[in-house]
Amino acid sequence: MINTALQDNIRDSADSREVNRQLDPELASELASAGMFNMLIPKTYGGREVDPHVFIDTLIAGAKADGAVGWCMMIGNTTSLLSASLSPHWAQEIYGDNPEVITCGVTAPYGRITHEGDDLRITGRWPYGSGGNVSEWISGGCLLKDGDNPPQQILAFFHKSDVQFHDNWHTSGLRGTGSNDFEVHDVLVPKGRWIVLGGRPEVEAPLYRFPTLGLLALGVASVSVGIAQRAIEAFTELANEKTPTGSKRSLATRESVQKDLARAIACEGSARAYMHAVTAAAWAPAQSGERISRQQKADLRLAASNAAWQSAEAVDLLYHAAGGSSIYSENILQRCFRDVHVTTQHIMVAQPTYEMLGKIPLGLDEKVML
């Protein structure tokens, strides 16, 4: 978990990230030294290989300190999860030889491939390169075609020296993530420096039997939950200190405020509990080597979407209950409001996931990828 000193540092530097629109390199280095980017790297490559519960709780703590930092931690860790699927040579070179390396990536297949023997030459541009300014390796999705076989979606790794970033991250929330577009042109990627999405990992361990998409969705949702926790904390302090215009009593004495705070706490707590419950149910067979059922995979995705939207509901309740105070830049509630409504737009937890997951109990799920 994140220690108190590091949490304080994250909070104290949050305003500068909002202005600079990227993760500060000094803090990124401190986070890396504290093991905040190697949670999902196999132990054989010097990683921590934590269980999913630790991953969830650590991201929640990071996002509670600052949503942008929690988001970059989530992207850095879910990208480094690919180390278990890379060829051992490249996994060692990228991750094992540099225990504090930071990586990021985008799975969308926007790269164009030309075969060059066993290697690939790739050109492409991808949006949402969160944490790219502090990453040494950046991955991008492509469709790999091999003769008449169906195309495979791959993630290729590019060294930062081959990547150009475009300064276009001008957004309502999560401003400090530096999620700019990135581009490569005619970059040669040697054989083994890419992974096939959905392929069998090279490393055999419980963590790498756990559903990859489920883990990614839980990561996104954990950031949402952390932001909700911060909003609850900030609102509680405000309610005891603020006396609304025209009143002689504090905001905390209003029954409507008490109700909204209770509802927000219930939204956050129930969402977090549901995530942990379904994670435990899927983690047990992963540990024992048994098959993780399709329903368990669906439960992971549903719990993640629920957590993201319940967290947004919690923040909304408190943002409105705080009245006019919420709109000022020095009030953390306005940042929580902006940040949490960016997390809900991620494809892993966005509204269409409910439609997709609703097909499963109706027996209409033949093509739903979990």
pLDDT in tens, 256-291: 999 999 999 999 999 999 999 999 999 999 999 999
**Tens digit of each residue's pLDDT (9 = 90 or more) over 4-39:** 999 999 999 999 999 999 999 999 999 999 999 999
CATH number assigned to the domain with residue range 103-196, chosen from the 4 options 2.40.110.10, 3.40.50.1220, 3.40.718.10, 3.30.70.100: 2.40.110.10
Domain ranges of the chain: 4-84, 103-196, 209-358
**Tens digit of each residue's pLDDT (9 = 90 or more) over 156-196:** 999 999 999 999 999 999 999 999 999 999 999 999 999 99
Q: Rounded to two decimals, what is the model's pTM?
A: 0.96
Return d(Cα 14, Cα 22) in angstroms, integer: 10
| Percentage of the residues of the chain whose pLDDT score is greater than 90 | 89
Q: What is the pLDDT, as a whole number, of residue 248?
A: 67
Q: What is the pLDDT, as a whole number, of residue 226?
A: 98
**Tens digit of each residue's pLDDT (9 = 90 or more) over 106-155:** 999 999 999 999 999 999 999 999 999 999 999 999 999 877 788 899 99
Fold for 4-84, please state it. Butyryl-Coa Dehydrogenase, subunit A; domain 1 (1.10.540)
Average pLDDT, the chain: 95
CATH superfamily to which 209-358 belongs: Butyryl-CoA Dehydrogenase, subunit A, domain 3 (1.20.140.10)
